[in-house]
Structure formats: C-alpha cells, structure tokens
Amino acid sequence: MVDLALAVPGAGRAGRRRQRSGRSPARPLQSEDQGALVTAPLLEVRDLSVTLARGGDELPVLDKVSFDIAPGEVLGVVGESGAGKSMAGVAIIDLLVPPLRRSGGTITLGGERLDLLTPRQMRRVRGKRIGFVFQDPMTSLNPVLTIGRQLTDTMRRHLPLSRNEARERAIAWLTRTGLPNPARVFAAAPHELSGGQRQRVVIALALCAEPDLVIADEPTTALDVSVQAHMLQLLRDLHEETGTAMMLITHDLGVIAKMADRVAVFYAGRLIETARTEMLIARPLHPYTAGLMQATPALDAAGVMRVKAIPGSMPGLGATPPGCAFHPRCNRSRDLCRQVTPPLADAGGHAAACHFPLRQEVA
C-alpha cells in the first residue's frame, strides 16, 4: 500500500489559502451553545436522493446523501466507478438528464436553496456561483466557437465587462493556466488544441466568472499520465490563489491526500465515511475505505507494481443488498451487517456507516 500519509496536507492549509487569496473571509456565525465563532458552510447538501426510472420502477442512484463544504475548503469525494460520486456533483448543478431525476433532499449555497430554483434561475447559478470541470474537456467546450469567444461570453454573461475588458481577462486567464502563446489559444477552435490544453481552457472557463465553488469531476482521468501531475498542480495553485471552494471528485485516494482538506467516501450511492483528510488516511474506520487505500498501486521490494484489489464488485442499480451494501465484499461482516443498514455515526469529527468499524474488534 502506498504511504498516503506522506501526501497529507499540513494542518491549517485551508486557512493559509484564504489568507493568501484576495477574497473576503466568510461571515462568521456566533454559536449559541458555546459562544464560539464558527464559519457557516458555503454548500449544504441534506438527504440528497437521485433515482433512475426503469420499467415503471424508481431505482435509487443516490440515497439520502448529506455533506457540507466550507468557504475556501476542498472536499475530496472518492469511490469506485458507480459509487454515485459524480452523480452528486451533477445533481447539485441540476444537469441530470431523464430518466434520472432528483427525488429528494435540499441543496443550499450561501443561504440560497438551489433545489427550489427554476431551470432559468439555475442557469445563472452555473458559471457565476458554481463552476464545473468535467472529466472530458470536450463536454464543456462548444466545438464551433473559438476559445476566446467561449471565455468572453461566459464572463460577460456573469460580470459587468465590456468586450475589450472581457478579452483582456480571457487572455490573462489563459496565461494563468499555463498555456503557451495565449493569444493563439484565444483565437483557436477546440479541435486545434491537445487534450491537456483543452482541460486548461476548461479550468479557465470554470474560474473566470469568479465562482464561490468549483466542482471538478475526475479532472485528470482523460489525460495522459505525463499531463495529469501538471493539471493537479495547476488546480492546487489556482485554488490557493483564488480561495475558491472545491468539490474534487476522483477514484484516486492519492489525489485526495494531496489536494483535499476533508474526504467523503461514497459506496453504492451512499456516503459511508467522512473525516478530515489526515484523520481518515491515518486511521480509516470503514473497511471499504481501508480497501481503497490498499488498492492504491505500490512498488514492492523487488520493484514490481502491486495492487491489492477489493474482492467482488459494486452492486448494480436495483441490486443493492439489504443491510450494509458493502457486506458481500467485507471480511468483517456479521448477521447484523446483512440485516440492518448502518447509520453514519459521528465520533469526534470522524463519521462512518459501519456496525463494526476498524477501531473496534468484532466479537
């Protein structure tokens, strides 16, 4: 197993980011219970459920998922393919395509209930308040418009800028994302750029209207391995410069360890563990999280790449077993696990949905 602890961000990293950024800090709220100053969440997701209509049935895709993201924070969302992590991001920005639909829960951004907005109102939220980086950059780019046109249109839609001001800012953003010859890129069509260049453009598009939150869904998966590290460094640098909060969706715990302040682990459409990154990496409570850590590729003493895969596979839609969805793959499962769905139980800021968490011995 890779020593993920070596990549864990240092304490107070999010606070230092916000100090370096030019943004005003979030308004603190006074706690009535303790009199302490606490920061109000930027994004609050409560009991978010998504279903897929099939043959007259409503199959659960997300099952009452709840989490927060604080101003300037990076929340890493991790899980295998089919866990529901990408679906959560798409549901937040209301881009679900039928037969998928949001079937329950609330989504609040800066005090505004996004789940109550009309499609027209949500179009104003996307881009201005929430930026999105898709896995495939061509999903975000119009193939018939130049890069410059797409950037300037986005900024002028959300910011009070003249055409010349928008052009100057667009070239500045292309420069900021590390693209060589930004004036050439500004005039280029998407098909004239490489995959890595297109993803840098998409990151510029996501940030150019100065959103409060960026949702990055597997932002490096579609890129060559040689480009992935550069793209992650770019996201990290821009996040530190702008102070923008981020929901980073990935299957790679190594990426989470380097980038995230907190982690949310998804399995079969449910949130099964959440904690601060250093706490989770040092001592995972859920067997699935521990399995993900052990499944991270590592070199053995002979220099051979080894991967310890989790046995079995994620249950398909409509095939989630009763009780804990992970119990068929878990070597700690007991009758209780097969019969009763475990609640997400919080213990000192570290929550896990497991009847027999790893810090406890199974009788």
Domain boundaries, the chain: 43-283
d(CA 109, CA 88): 15
Classify residue 301 by its DSSP letter.
T
d(CA 39, CA 20): 18
CA distances from 296 to 104, 226, 310 (A): 34, 18, 11
d(CA 199, CA 135): 9
d(CA 90, CA 79): 16
Round to the nearest angstrom and report the end-to-end CA distance of the chain.
27
Q: Which amino acid is located at 136 in the chain?
A: D
Strand, helix or coil for residue 73: coil
Q: Residue 357's CB: how many other CB atoms inside 10 A?
A: 21
Strand, helix or coil for residue 47: strand
Among 252, 181, 247, which Cα is nearest to 223's? 252
Q: Is the dihedral of CA 116, 320, 135, 97 positive or negative?
A: negative
Strand, helix or coil for residue 165: helix
pLDDT tens for the 363 residues of the chain, in order = 445 644 444 433 444 444 444 444 343 344 444 444 567 899 999 999 999 999 899 999 999 999 999 999 999 999 999 999 999 999 999 999 999 999 999 999 999 999 999 999 999 999 999 999 988 888 889 999 999 999 999 999 999 999 999 999 999 999 999 999 999 999 999 999 999 999 999 999 999 999 999 999 999 887 787 788 888 889 999 999 999 999 999 998 989 999 999 999 999 999 999 999 999 999 999 999 999 999 877 766 777 777 788 999 999 999 999 999 999 999 999 999 999 999 999 988 999 999 999 975 544
Give me the pLDDT at residue 221, please.
81
The set of residues, in sequence order, having a beta carbon less than 8 Å from that of 317 and lying 6+ positions away, is 52, 54, 59, 60, 61
d(CA 243, CA 245): 6
d(CA 275, CA 261): 9
Identify any residues that bridge with 57 across adjacent strands, giving them in sequence order.
54
d(CA 261, CA 9): 7
Query: Which of these CATH numbers, 2.40.50.100, 3.40.50.300, 3.30.1330.200, 1.10.730.10, describes 43-283?
Result: 3.40.50.300
**DSSP per position, 185-204:** HHH--GGGS-HHHHHHHHHH
Strand, helix or coil for residue 176: helix
CA distances from 26 to 29, 46, 48, 102, 335 (A): 9, 21, 25, 29, 46
